[in-house]
Amino acid sequence: MKTFAFGFALAALLPIAGCVDNSGGSNRAVTADNFDFVAMLANYADSIIVPNYESLADTSSLLATENGSIASYCSAIGSDNEASARGAAQAAWKTTMDAWQTTTLHELGPIQANNNALRNRISSFARGSSLSTCGVDQAVVLANSNPNFSLSSRSANQRGLGAVEYLLFSDNLEHSCSSQITETTDWNTRPEIERKQLRCAYAQTLAGDINAAAQRVVKAWLIDADNYRSEFINPSSLDTNLKALSDALFYLDTETKDTKLGIPLGINATCSQPSCPEVIESPYAEYSLNNIAQNLRSFLNLLQGGSGLGFDDIIAQAGVAEVTELMRQNTEAAIGEINAMSTSLRQQAEGISNEDAAQTCLTAANTPDSQRSIPACNLYGYLRRVTDTLKVGFVAAVDVDLPDRAQSDND
């Protein structure tokens, strides 16, 4: 049974929420008369959102092009330079993944259009959607043998950065399909060099699709292209877009805290075992903790509006700057916890193999400043402190409602 010590944390935050209202007193109502919301949204678009997407487009281009790192690795297979070329391709994947993780805290507008079509081409990682390695293995064969092969026909859980990671980082060249799958029947008997070459070629195809999607997102925002920016900063849509931007921050709660950390550690009730390490993000590259750290850095940057007008300024105008400071302190504590870890998230989750270990993890999550036998559980505790403040003090100060996905939190 999974139990959590929420009472104290929420009770500590409720006075903050209660003091932010429009009835006068020492706190101030934040309105268009005393705060420039349009300038704030313009700052987010011009200084954070568009530059982040441009960085993703640039890094994915270096991964995908004919002269890029994956192409260089493909050319080096079988030569003395194979290992170093593969290492360079893996490093380029990590750089692209860093850029992607930075964008996930402002998912709104074009990247969500058509049921998240562009987002899913870049990364389909989400709760309940694990990478289909068999599907990727099948596609490797079909892309080489079927002239009518179309990447667009493959499901989202066979594409994106997760699929490229599997092809670049997994040392196991055998397929992961059952014997009933005809496409991979003779795969394991093929020469090793052929299997490496085919996997590499398909990784480049996938990377090209990731880059195309990233370029499309940039085009959607740019003033001289589709110009979603003008819609985003339009005063007539202020309430809608401010809410969309604030909702996006809750990725830290539902995806970073719960899907990337709480479920693998067995803290979130979605995992019915002591732990569920098989569902972590980026398992082949062992990059899971880095992804979480990148989310945290992006959250802090978005909270503060970079170096311009941001949510922290709304909160200060409301007279409760301590809300921002509390989130900042706990975000930095979470990043520090990751920096101090010496074992991967997968190793830590696999170590939670019985009820005693699960209880130790829960204790650490409830009291993250305590002992650190499973530091990822302490990390969860710091993240929950941030998101508890986000759910209470932040939404009260900014005067927005909780997004539906945060209201259904079950950890």
Distance of alpha carbon 78 from alpha carbon 380, whole angstroms: 43
Helix (H), strand (E) at residue 379: helix 375-389
Does 18 score more than 60 pLDDT?
no
| Predicted confidence band of residue 299 (pLDDT cuts 50, 70, 90) | very high
28 has pLDDT over 90: no
| Reported confidence tier of residue 207, pLDDT bands at 50, 70, 90 | very high
- Does pLDDT of 4 surpass 50? no
388 three-class SS: helix
Predicted confidence (pLDDT) at residue 406 exceeds the cutoff of 80? no
- Give residue 404's pLDDT: 78
Q: What percent of the chain has pLDDT over 90?
A: 87
Query: What pLDDT is recorded for position 29?
Result: 81
Select the more confidently predicted residue: 404 or 150. 150
Q: Which pLDDT value is given to residue 368? A: 97
Instruction: Give the model's confidence band at 202: pLDDT under 50 very low, under 70 low, under 90 confident, else very high.
Output: very high
Q: What is the mean pLDDT of residues 10-16?
A: 40
pLDDT averaged over the chain?
Answer: 92
Enumerate the β-bridge partners of residue 126: 129
| Alpha-carbon span 42 to 208, nearest angstrom | 31
Mean pLDDT of 36-58: 98
Enumerate helices (H) and strands (E) in the chain, giving the number of each.
20, 0
pLDDT at 356 over 90: yes
Bigger pLDDT: 3 or 93? 93
Please give the Cα distance from 325 to 386 (Å, whole number): 10
381-401 b/e (C-beta count within 10 Å ≥ 16 → b): bbbbbbbbbbbbbbbbbbbbe
Q: Predicted confidence band at 27 (pLDDT cuts at 50, 70, 90)?
A: low
The predicted pLDDT at position 408 comes to 57
Tokens of residue 136, six digits:
């990727």
pLDDT of residue 90: 98
Cα separation of 166 and 103, whole Å?
22
pLDDT score for 251: 97
pTM (2 d.p.):
0.92
CA 10 to CA 37: how far, in whole Å?
Answer: 29
Tell me the domain boundaries of the chain: 7-30+250-407, 45-221
Which spans in 2-112 are helix H? 7-18, 37-43, 50-64, 69-76, 82-103
Instruction: Evaluate the CA torsion angle 137, 139, 143, 144 in order and state its sign.
Output: positive
pLDDT given at position 62: 95
Residue 145 in this model has a pLDDT that exceeds 70: yes
Give 152-171 pLDDT, tens digit per residue.
999 999 999 999 999 999 99
Torsion, Cα of 153, 158, 162, 165 (10° steps): -100
Asked whether the predicted pLDDT for residue 88 surpasses 50, the reply is yes
Query: Residues 379, 292: contact at Cβ < 8 Å?
Result: yes
* AA letter at 200: C
Q: What pLDDT does residue 101 have?
A: 98
* Mean pLDDT computed over 360-386: 96
pLDDT: which is higher, 184 or 402: 184
Q: Is the pLDDT of residue 334 over 60?
A: yes
**Cβ neighbours around 147 below 10 Å, total:** 4
Least confident of 28-37, 111-120, 333-342, 375-384: 28-37
In this predicted structure, what is the pLDDT of residue 20?
39
Given a cut of 50, whether residue 12 has pLDDT beyond it is no
Average pLDDT over residues 349-366: 97
**And the tokens for 69?**
């790192």
Token duo for residue 352: 């939670």
Residue 363, sorted as left (phi over 0), alpha (psi -120 to 50) or beta, turns out to be alpha
> What integer pLDDT is reported at residue 405 of this predicted model?
72
Residue 13: is its pLDDT beyond 80?
no
Residue 66 has pLDDT above 60, yes or no: yes
Given this model, what pLDDT does residue 2 score?
A: 52
pLDDT at 1: 41
Task: Quote the pLDDT of residue 409.
Answer: 54
- The pLDDT value recorded for residue 280 is 96
**Residue 130 — very low, low, confident or very high, per pLDDT cuts 50/70/90?**
confident
